[in-house]
């Protein structure tokens, strides 16, 4: 199974077209470095979720994740981040939003690290 075919439910982990475009544009080594930087960003995002966040702060974090991870083609994470961002604008349970976003961040990190064949940092 390649990174482009891994999926969570109905939404692929990574958009196949973006994967091919970025890997062709950047070349293999730079594309792998981009994926490594995504793992670091996921670690930072997960750390942020362990801090007390208000609805506006959580929505802003989800918005940043949606944009940065979406531009890398991480389709499932971008979709969930968009859902959390939208839910933060409504009167929803912040704990549910944190759990939803945290779960897909952790799963995306595990899959990317598996694809990269080595953990960049140990899991807590």
Return the higher-pLDDT residue of 14 and 83.
83
**124 inside domain:** no
CA distance 56 to 100: 16
**59 inside domain:** yes
What would the mean pLDDT of 56-65 be, rounded to a whole number? 94
Q: What is the pLDDT of residue 4?
A: 45
Q: What is the pLDDT of residue 124?
A: 55
Q: What is the pLDDT of residue 9?
A: 57
Q: What is the pLDDT of residue 67?
A: 96
Domain carrying residue 62: 12-116
**89 inside domain:** yes
**61 inside domain:** yes
Report which of 26, 50, 55 is spatially closest to residue 38, judged by C-alpha positions: 26
- Cα–Cα distances in Å, from 116 out to 32, 39, 53, 119? 7, 10, 31, 8
CA 119 vs. chain centroid, Å, equals 16
Band (6; pLDDT cuts 50, 70, 90): very low
**123 inside domain:** no
**42 inside domain:** yes
Mean pLDDT estimate for the chain: 84
């Amino acid at each position: 199974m390649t990174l482009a075919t891994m999926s969570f439910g109905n939404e692929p982990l990574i958009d196949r077209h973006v994967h091919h475009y970025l890997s062709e544009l950047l070349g293999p080594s730079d594309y792998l470095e981009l994926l490594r930087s995504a793992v670091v960003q996921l670690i930072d995002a997960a750390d942020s979720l362990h801090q007390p966040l208000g609805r506006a702060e959580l929505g802003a974090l989800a918005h940043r994740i949606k944009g940065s991870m979406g531009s890398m083609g991480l389709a499932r994470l971008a979709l969930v981040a968009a859902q959390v961002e939208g839910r933060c604008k409504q009167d929803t349970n912040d704990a549910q939003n944190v759990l939803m976003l945290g779960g897909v961040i952790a799963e995306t990190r595990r899959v990317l690290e598996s694809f990269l064949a080595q953990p960049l940092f140990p899991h807590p």
